[in-house]
Amino acid sequence: MAYVPAALFLLSALIILINDNIIVKAATNESHVIKLGSSLSPDSNLSSWLSPSGRFAFGFYRQGNGFTVGIWLVNELNQTEQSIVVWTARRDDPLVSSNSTLRLTGDGLLLQTEQGEQVPIAIYDNRSKVIWQSFDSPTDTILGGQNLAAGTYLVSSVSASNHFSGRFSLQMQGDGNLVSYPVNISTISENAYWSSNTVGPVQLLSLNASGFLVLIPETAHPLATGSYHAHDDDGTIVHRATLDADGIFRLYLHNYSVMSPSSRVSIVWSNLHNQCDVKGFCGLNSYCAVLEKTNKTECRCYPGFVINPVDMFPGCYQNASDDGCTGNEDPRLGYKVASVDNISWPIDHPYSVVPLKNPQVCSDSCLEDCSCKAALYTNGNCNKYKLENAELENATHGFKEELGRGTFGAVYKGTLSTSNKIVAVKRLEKVVEEGVREFKAEITTIGRTHHRNLVQLLGFCIEGSQKLLVYEYMSSGSLAHLLFNKAATVRPSWRERVGIVLDVAKGVLYLHEECGVHIIHCNLKPQNILLDHSWTAQISDFGLARLLVPNDQTKIAAGVEQRSGYLAPEWQKNALISVKSDIYSFGIVLLETVCCRKNIELKVSVPVEMILSSWAYKCFKAGKLYKLVEDDEQNVDLKTLERMVKVGLWCVQDDPALRPLMKNVILMLEGTTDIPVAPSPELRQAC
């Protein structure tokens, strides 16, 4: 029997034939024919479809208090045992209820939620050609016959039972290196915790039917050889390579000829054998320990910290207030030092390294130093850790090189002397004089946001009234500089501008719906969108509006730039501010990015071009969108331009109820849902 990947569900297990007799066939077995209009529902007798081999199922599976759509390995020996999920559709979308329906239509597989929202799972063109399939978009697993192409990645699940995106990624880099990183940090070698150490024209990671896990073009030795002696000719062997929730990449063998469930699954290979080798395995303020007797790993809190029961991921928090100390008081009256033996602390470089004769002297030195948060005694040296204001002042050469100035203060470029790491230091101005504890709570919330499209807050420093924030340095500067500065030597290409818009949308979606504490940015504009060396867009200044005057909307509005044209109309009306206010600002940013011009331009050839949103609507209605990009028309895809403009026009509607949520904006931008024509945005006097 010829080998067919058993779980190529939307390509071979379910071949979609959109024609006069619209049907869905499973390979050539008529018993697996699924007719157009067929549907699945969690609370019905039919909640999934089986693959021809019977090894895989596609449909609804339970997760927590709801359901989601995915593909899993069928366990016919124990129906009550948790299934092994190998793919999840739109894994970070909210769970759906038991009243949801998955329906096969002429447009593809559509998920209809209880609220009536339709979410595409797979899309087909009018010639019956599959233009998207699950096999090309793995989540945390690849199966036999599946590849991980250059530039793509796997992301672990939160746990074996929670298949939302987790904390670790495995990336097939364009340089030929297969690398494991914690998620939402810069993909530089210092942040990696495992690498294949391959460099060259490697195009993909491939897992074949026999369990050979290899980088292609082939390296001297495969990563794993699998079960070459047991080829899956009779369908009894299934291989899968999964980036597990603990961050370790493992190759599994499922032998369906074995009747014992306990011996049916075996681990053939793993890239690491010790969970403590995974960076960030134990979460914030904790460390990883290997137990001597059992050789198992255990996460423990630092002394003075306790388990945080609220966080989705493991971690610890300080169980006492920390209002700092001053040089006028004896720190030994309120603090003590606890020792933890045989521990390595892979944190950025200490601010002080002093040769001392024993650990006790090092402990006393830290206790007497208000800046010292922790000390590592190794090789006769006392390494003290704490980023202090003096270090930041030295790093920025006295706050000399100003990168920019915005609503919340000036930003300076700096280099940490101990690590030569370039950072951006924001010196906050006009911040409300609240207590140190309240300020730390706000900044801690910001610091816990981790997303590839948000500028990472590395740390902060408080000394008296001076408050400093330390961010990742974005080498390509702001989007405003690249779009509007005529002296800029490089301007983003059309494809890069489209990518930037999607990056910003995904960052805003994370703030609105996906982070632990939902955040309304309140000041989204090109000046607050920065780009790294690879032109990935990252949003800055999120969460800072509340630091101006918490819970006072009118004063927040006074603090942000109202003359910029980015603020939604409700700001001026003192109406309720919601996530839809950010959607308006995003719409303006979208149109500016697409057209490479500001929303309000006074020096234009004709008055109708002064306000971009109004002009864009007129060009759209007249069928002359090319006028928006006349300087770059030859490089612009006009169909994509039309889609982008239509989305932008919906976002800038005066009525917040008409503006879409960001998750729907992304669906429209990606072309996975239709975009109706928006009403004309009302012309308002620019404020």
Three-class secondary structure assignment of 481-516: HHHHCCCCCCCCCHHHHHHHHHHHHHHHHHHHHHCC
The whole-angstrom separation of Cα 302 and Cα 660 is 44
Same domain, 510 and 431: no
**How many domains does one find in the chain?**
6
Residue 678 · residue 653 · CB < 8 Å: yes
Q: At 212, which CATH number?
A: 2.90.10.10
What is the separation of C-alpha 255 from the centre of its chain, rounded to a whole number of angstroms? Answer: 35
The whole-angstrom separation of Cα 633 and Cα 631 is 6
- Higher per-residue confidence, 647 vs 384: 647
The whole-angstrom separation of Cα 484 and Cα 486 is 6
pLDDT band at 76 (very low <50, low <70, confident <90, very high): low
For the chain, what is the radius of gyration of the CA atoms?
A: 28
What pTM does this model have?
Answer: 0.59
Those residues whose C-beta lies under 8 Å from the C-beta of residue 673, and which sit 6 or more positions away, are 118, 120, 664, 667
426 annotated as belonging to a binding site for a ligand: yes
Residue 593 · residue 681 · CB < 8 Å: no
Q: What is the pLDDT of residues 463-509, one digit of tens each?
A: 666 778 888 888 888 999 889 887 766 788 898 999 999 999 999 99
Residue positions counted in the chain: 687
Residue 215: count other Cβ atoms within 10 Å of its Cβ.
Answer: 22
What angle separates helix 638-651 from helix 612-621, to the nearest 10 degrees?
130
Which of 115, 136, 157 is the last residue before a domain boundary?
136
Tell whether the model's pLDDT for residue 180 goes beyond 50.
yes
Which of 116, 136, 156 is the last residue before a domain boundary?
136
Q: Is residue 228 part of a domain?
A: yes
- Higher per-residue confidence, 421 vs 314: 421
Strand order in the sheet with 178-182: 153-157, 165-172, 178-182, 194-195
Tokens linked to 234: 């009779």
Burial (CB count within 10 angstroms: exposed 0-12, middle 13-18, buried 19+), residue 617: buried
Q: Is residue 610 part of a domain?
A: yes
Same domain, 517 and 643: yes
Same domain, 520 and 655: yes
The pLDDT mean for the chain works out to: 77
Burial (CB count within 10 angstroms: exposed 0-12, middle 13-18, buried 19+), residue 595: buried
pLDDT band at 296 (very low <50, low <70, confident <90, very high): confident
- 142-161 burial by CB neighbour count: b if 16+ within 10 A, else e? bbbbbbbebebbbbbbeeee
Same domain, 541 and 593: yes
CA dist list (Å): 252 to 41, 219, 238, 311? 31, 22, 8, 30
pLDDT at 329: 53
Same domain, 192 and 128: no
The whole-angstrom separation of Cα 333 and Cα 353 is 25
What residue numbers bound the domain in which 360 lies? 331-386
Same domain, 67 and 128: yes
Same domain, 644 and 542: yes
Same domain, 167 and 251: yes
Tell whether the model's pLDDT for residue 546 goes beyond 70.
no
Instruction: Reply yes or no: is the peptide bond before residue 346 cis, omega within 30 of 0.
Output: no
The whole-angstrom separation of Cα 597 and Cα 565 is 13
What angle separates helix 662-669 from helix 579-595, to the nearest 10 degrees?
30
Same domain, 357 and 482: no
The residues facing 40 across adjacent strands are: 102
What is the average pLDDT across 70-98? 80
Burial (CB count within 10 angstroms: exposed 0-12, middle 13-18, buried 19+), residue 219: middle
pLDDT band at 403 (very low <50, low <70, confident <90, very high): confident
The whole-angstrom separation of Cα 464 and Cα 366 is 21
Same domain, 367 and 219: no
Same domain, 515 and 623: yes
Strands (E), 386-540: 402-406, 409-415, 422-428, 457-463, 466-472, 529-531, 537-539
Q: What is the pLDDT of residues 407-422, one digit of tens each?
A: 667 888 888 665 567 8
pLDDT at 330: 56
